[in-house]
Structure 1
Amino acid sequence: MAALWRQVSIALATFAAVSNASAASGAPVPEKPKLHLAAAGVGFPYLPFVIADSRGYFKQAGLDVEIGVFSGGAKALQAMMGGSADIVAGAYSNTITMAAKGQKLVSFVTLASCPGWVFGATRASHAKVKTYADLKGMRIGVSSPGSSFHMGVNYLLSKSGVKPSDVSIIGVGSSAGAIAAARSGQIDALMSNDPVATVLQDSGDLFPLAVMRDPAGTRATLGGDYPEAAIYTSKDFLVKYPNTVQAVTNAILEAERWMAHATPEQVAAAVPPQYALAEKDVFARAYANMQSCISRDGLMTDAAAHTVHDVLTAFDPEIGKASIDLKATYDNHFVENADKR
């Protein structure tokens, strides 16, 4: 009986702590305070969730978030579809590709309004690679096959008439594995983001063919704004746990607002060592290279969603043929509600 009362007391204390945190912020109590977040990586487009965790914004919103970092968006998506994760910090494009398969996924807060991608030749092959067409027959590293990095590669190659079957795609992750693969000569080219891209450029191991570290570079390369990173979940989860989704949104927006005014050095200092991927000075310099990609308001625009759809369609005709309601792949009202608090 005493053990039972201890369990009841612990449960009540936990509930009270969550309730007090939510009450203090004026937000409803999350229906599911303990969450599992699957992250496609810890590249800079995903930094808002890292900051939300390290600076305590998730806890302030009444959430206990367990983060699992995967080697690419495809694997993070698999984790959620398999039931081991509730939400994903990954590519918005996954909501569209899954919609083409009849799966209803919804992005509810944008992390990055441009991809921050750097696509280039590695030291082993840069003398032979001057254009996308030169990559025919070569090995190209991406975070994981089927990821947004992979889709971006296919789109860029298609502009030069190179088909997906003309190259070998190799999954190398998006952090230390990508750096090792580029330096060891395992790949001829790499699609990466920061800080990996800055680390490799600084050491002379990556020679860019395309740089999408800011809105202007993204529009020039992809034809419009391209929201690479977002927090998304299933439509069922969104409907069942709206207060929880609102709490996640509130925490992410707090992180984005803080990042908008923080210096690169302050951001670097706020990132835990397991997520840093580089020394603090290198990290700060890399972040300065692409910080304009980080969303400041968490919103998705209809035009940006169409750009992502157009990029996907360029190399996957099935997506173009599918009947997809793009407005159903994102929901801005949680961001809009956060602004009313």
Structure 2
Amino acid sequence: MGRIALLTCLAIGTAATSATEASAQSAPEQPKIHLAAAGVGFPYLPFVIASSRGYFRQQGLDVEIGVYSGGAKALQALLGGSADIVAGAYSNTITMAVNGQKIVSFVTQAVCPGFVFGVTRASHDKIKSYADLKGKRIGVSSPGSSFHMGVNYLLSRAGLKPDDVSIIGVGSSSGAIAAARSGQVDALMTNDPVATVLQDSGDLFPLAMMRNVKETQATLGGNYPEASIYATEKFIAKNPRTIQAIATAMVAAEKWIAQATPQQIADAVPPQYAIADKAVFVKAYSNMHQCLSQDGLMAQDAPKTVRSVLAAFDPAVAAANVDLTTTYDNSYVLRADKR
């Protein structure tokens, strides 16, 4: 009996040791993560939910979120070393590739931009088409952001150049609302819930909407993913378990969003990220929810559309030979379902 008891204890000890070693082998290499967010508009809801509902914590991550006034500044934080990952526009991976910087998107948050481009109340009678924008002031989250790139593309459709207008950085939340209502800008590229707030108050009159796949294809010529989670190729290669943990948490958040009611989602957004009251949030979410990814995957044809949009106004992108398959990696979200 004593020998049986000893063997049993040894077996239990061996199993416990194996479990501990297995846990260590799957634990994130870098559990403390600094995430730079380009904003907290609806295309970025998945990372907000992954944080608020504890999906990051469940994967052994402690994610510190810094919200910036636009994608260009969030990207600067990554390149400057103060952020590990970015919740920002997928298009940045292409523009950086043109400049020799290897940035890789590994989770898609929004399969369409959710953009609304409109004319403000003060200029409503003066601007009826893209061509009328020449010489006007256009608000974007920040110069160089995906909002700015979207404006440049719409200008190109009217034969205008980027320097035919004045670009003003107004942020992507309360600052954008104030700029539109005060007459600081003649037109504004924004997303929800800001767009819904301004439309409902009669302060924004849309010229283009990209709140679903059909509208996006009509405006931009194809599938156009907007928000993603990206990092440098070097960071991903060095921290594969960390990247996997982030992807798994993000996919869990996206799946929860897909089955939740608008009210449940509104209730799950922390007060510091709420840029509209819950009634407005629910309406705005209903306006653009089709843009949110449900699985984190990058569609195979989508990167080509993004490059075409960028090339329409950026000669450097048009001339560059970028291997688009190096700008994204679906393998982490594909493995998320198996964990």
In the superposition, the TM-score normalised over structure 2's length comes to: 0.93
Residue 300 of structure 2 aligns with which residue? 302
2:66 equivalent to 1:68: yes
Q: Distance in 1 between matches of 2:234 and 2:129?
A: 44
Number of residues paired by the alignment?
320
Residue 48 of structure 1 aligns with which residue? 46
Residue 234 of structure 1 aligns with which residue? 232
Instruction: Report SS of the residue matched to 1:162.
Output: coil
- Conservation of the 8 A alpha-carbon contact between 1:44 and 1:195: yes
2:129 equivalent to 1:131: yes
Instruction: Report SS of the residue matched to 1:327.
Output: helix
Residue 13 of structure 2 aligns with which residue? none
Deviation at 1:302, TM superposition (A): 2.4
Residue 12 of structure 1 aligns with which residue? none
Deviation at 1:27, TM superposition (A): 8.8
Residue 336 of structure 1 aligns with which residue? 334
Residue 206 of structure 2 aligns with which residue? 208
Unaligned runs of 5+ in 1: 1-18
Q: Distance in 1 between matches of 2:151 and 2:299?
A: 23
In the superposition, the TM-score normalised over structure 1's length comes to: 0.92
Among 279, 284, 287, the residue aligned to 1:286: 284
Residue 322 of structure 2 aligns with which residue? 324
Residue 81 of structure 2 aligns with which residue? 83
Q: Distance in 2 between matches of 1:75 and 1:27?
A: 35
Residue 166 of structure 2 aligns with which residue? 168
Could you tell me which amino acid in structure 2 is paired with residue 186 of structure 1?
Answer: Q
Residue 313 of structure 2 aligns with which residue? 315
Residue 8 of structure 1 aligns with which residue? none
Q: Distance in 2 between matches of 1:88 and 1:258?
A: 21
- Conservation of the 8 A alpha-carbon contact between 1:52 and 1:251: yes
Could you tell me which amino acid in structure 1 is paired with residue 68 of structure 2?
Answer: F
Deviation at 1:28, TM superposition (A): 1.5
- Conservation of the 8 A alpha-carbon contact between 1:27 and 1:247: no
Could you tell me which amino acid in structure 2 is paired with residue 80 of structure 1?
Answer: L
Q: Distance in 2 between matches of 1:313 and 1:27?
A: 43
Q: Deviations over 1:144-175 (max 9, x none)?
A: 00011000000011101111111000000001
Q: Distance in 2 between matches of 1:142 and 1:322?
A: 26
Deviation at 1:266, TM superposition (A): 0.7
Unaligned runs of 5+ in 2: 1-18
CA RMSD of the aligned region, Å?
Answer: 1.3
Deviation at 1:336, TM superposition (A): 1.0
> Runs of at least 4 residues of structure 1 off by over 3 A?
none
Could you tell me which amino acid in structure 1 is paired with residue 58 of structure 2?
Answer: Q
2:154 equivalent to 1:156: yes
